[in-house]
């Protein structure tokens, strides 16, 4: 009964493995995107978040154009029947002097467009980081699946070996059952990694929107320069999150300026022409021209005063948010750098451990032949060696993930992944905000 169950289980494992291999090989052959760079390219090309932010950028560009159109003349038409003759008046006003009101509106629109541009960079870098992390997870699972597959083959050989020894009277049925249990464990572990790999492929597909050939391994070196201070400096200088917060401070500052100038008057060159009813007997020219000065004070100026104060408070809030973002970014970069150092030490130590476990396993197998070690000790040594290899694969994946996070934050992946650089437009420097005295 046990032999029949073992045969059916082995057959199911072989069929599921073949189906998994065929499915992924077909997907790899039909995909035009290969490797981690192909996955990043597909994510930047097809992910809907990019299209959404590009639409927002287009809207802000039209908003800037609308603000610039304030320099053009204003044409208005009015008509009434308050007098005996119906009268219509056409008015043309050309702004001559706005005392900063028009220029502040244009500057605010430019700042908003710039912020949307930085927001697009932010989304692109987030996609690059998320896609690289998803691909690294797949790469780690493939390594672990390869270890699990080799573990299944090794346990199959151990099972066949102990079965032959049992048939020769050199081993007991208990040893065979123990080997069978470990073989079934190895097969279950392999199936578990196959399932995890399928889930990870689905997560990557959600980012790329198209199938990607993920069989290509990720290079373990060459992502970062050797100088950690340079990495930290570049991350702080080119961080999209920090740039976006700087732009929010600029927007708050331009908004405050616009509120200050909103109550200023506007000097126009004004042309008017009356258009009387056709039944009117008036033939004289009704064209008038001259200078016009207009100003508006909503709520006798109190409304503008309150809005200006609110805009100034929003600017202080944006400065505080910028400061918090910078502090969090410094902490995140420092944590990733420390994590890389720790993972590098762990990798070196784990590699030595795996080599030692392999030597121990080989020694136990030889000693078992001479009767100095038990069969259980051999199987335990095999299991410890596999656990060591799986842990080493996890450490390498964690180290690679930290390296790619730092590379994405510092902008090292932009050129290779096709992320366009921002236009060389200077950002207004913002001083570090002082703590707010709430009792002042």
Q: pLDDT tens for residues 64-118? A: 888 888 888 887 887 766 555 557 788 888 888 777 788 888 888 889 899 999 9
115: nearest Cα among 60, 166, 169, 170: 60
Q: How far does Cα 82 stand from its chain's mean position? A: 64
Q: What is the pLDDT, as a whole number, of residue 377?
A: 92
Topology classification of domain 31-417: Outer membrane efflux proteins (OEP) (1.20.1600)
**Cα dist from 289 to 75, 203, 304, 385, whole Å:** 14, 69, 31, 95
Q: What is the pLDDT, as a whole number, of residue 425?
A: 55
The pTM score is: 0.79
| Res. 5: pLDDT tops 60 | no
Q: How far does Cα 128 stand from its chain's mean position? A: 6
Run of H or E including 274: strand 266-276
**Cα dist from 166 to 47, 107, 212, whole Å:** 59, 87, 48
| Res. 22: pLDDT tops 50 | no
CA distance 403 to 222: 9
Task: Summarize the confidence of residues 193-217 as an average pLDDT.
Answer: 93
Q: What is the pLDDT, as a whole number, of residue 12?
A: 45
Three-state SS letters, 384-423: HHHHHHHHHHHHHHHHHHHHHHHHHHCCCCHHHHCCCCCC
| pLDDT tens for each residue of 304-351 | 778 888 888 888 998 999 999 999 999 999 999 999 999 999 999 999
> Reduced to 3 states, what is the DSSP secondary structure of residue 223?
coil
Classify residue 213 by its DSSP letter: B
CB 178 within 8 A of CB 379: yes
CB 128 within 8 A of CB 408: yes
Which of the four pLDDT bands, split at 50, 70 and 90, describes residue 28? Answer: very low
| Res. 29: pLDDT tops 60 | no
CA distance 382 to 385: 5
For the chain, the structural domain boundaries read 31-417
CA distance 244 to 154: 54
Instruction: Identify the sign of the CA torsion 121, 123, 124, 126.
Output: positive
| Res. 7: pLDDT tops 70 | no
Which of the four pLDDT bands, split at 50, 70 and 90, describes residue 426? Answer: very low
Lowest mean pLDDT among 159-168, 181-190, 291-300: 291-300
What lies within 8 Å, CB to CB, of 415 at 6+ separation is none
- Percentage of the chain beyond pLDDT 70 is 83
Lowest mean pLDDT among 242-251, 259-268, 340-349: 259-268
| Res. 14: pLDDT tops 60 | no
């Amino acid at each position: 009964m046990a032999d029949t169950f073992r045969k059916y289980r082995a057959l199911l494992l072989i069929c599921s493995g073949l189906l998994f291999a065929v499915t992924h090989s077909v997907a790899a052959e039909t995909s035009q995107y290969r490797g981690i760079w192909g996955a990043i390219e597909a994510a930047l090309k097809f992910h809907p978040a990019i299209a959404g932010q590009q639409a927002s950028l287009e809207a802000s560009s039209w908003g800037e154009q609308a603000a610039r159109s304030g320099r053009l003349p204003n044409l208005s038409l009015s008509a009434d029947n308050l007098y005996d003759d119906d009268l219509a008046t056409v008015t043309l006003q050309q702004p001559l002097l706005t005392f900063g009101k028009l220029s502040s509106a244009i500057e605010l629109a430019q700042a908003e467009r710039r912020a949307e541009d930085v927001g697009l960079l932010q989304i692109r870098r987030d996609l690059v980081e998320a896609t690289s992390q998803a691909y690294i997870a797949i790469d780690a699972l493939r390594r672990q699946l390869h270890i699990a597959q080799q573990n299944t083959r090794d346990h199959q050989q151990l099972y066949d070996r102990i079965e032959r020894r049992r048939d020769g009277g050199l081993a007991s049925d208990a040893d065979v059952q123990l080997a069978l249990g470990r073989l079934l464990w190895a097969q279950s572990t392999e199936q578990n990694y196959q399932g995890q790999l399928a889930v990870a492929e689905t997560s990557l597909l959600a980012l790329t929107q198209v199938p990607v050939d993920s069989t290509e391994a990720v290079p373990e070196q060459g992502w970062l320069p050797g100088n950690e201070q340079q990495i930290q400096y570049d991350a702080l200088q080119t961080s999209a999150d920090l740039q976006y917060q700087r732009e929010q401070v600029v927007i708050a500052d331009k908004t405050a300026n616009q509120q200050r100038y909103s109550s200023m008057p506007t000097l126009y060159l004004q042309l008017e022409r009356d258009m009387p009813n056709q039944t009117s007997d008036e033939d004289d020219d009704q064209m008038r021209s001259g200078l016009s000065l207009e100003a508006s004070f909503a709520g006798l100026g109190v409304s503008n005063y309150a809005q200006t104060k609110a805009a100034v408070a929003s600017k202080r809030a944006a400065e505080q948010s910028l400061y918090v973002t910078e502090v969090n970014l410094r902490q995140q970069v420092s944590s990733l750098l420390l994590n890389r150092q720790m993972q590098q030490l762990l990798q070196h130590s784990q590699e030595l451990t795996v080599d030692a476990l392999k030597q121990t396993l080989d020694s136990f197998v030889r000693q078992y032949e001479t009767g100095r070690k038990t069969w259980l000790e051999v199987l335990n040594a095999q299991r410890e060696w596999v656990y060591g290899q799986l842990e080493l694969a996890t450490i390498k994946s964690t180290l690679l993930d930290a390296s790619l996070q730092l590379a994405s934050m510092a902008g090292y992946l932009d050129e290779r992944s096709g992320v366009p650089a921002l236009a060389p437009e200077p950002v207004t420097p913002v001083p570090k905000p002082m703590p707010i005295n709430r009792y002042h």
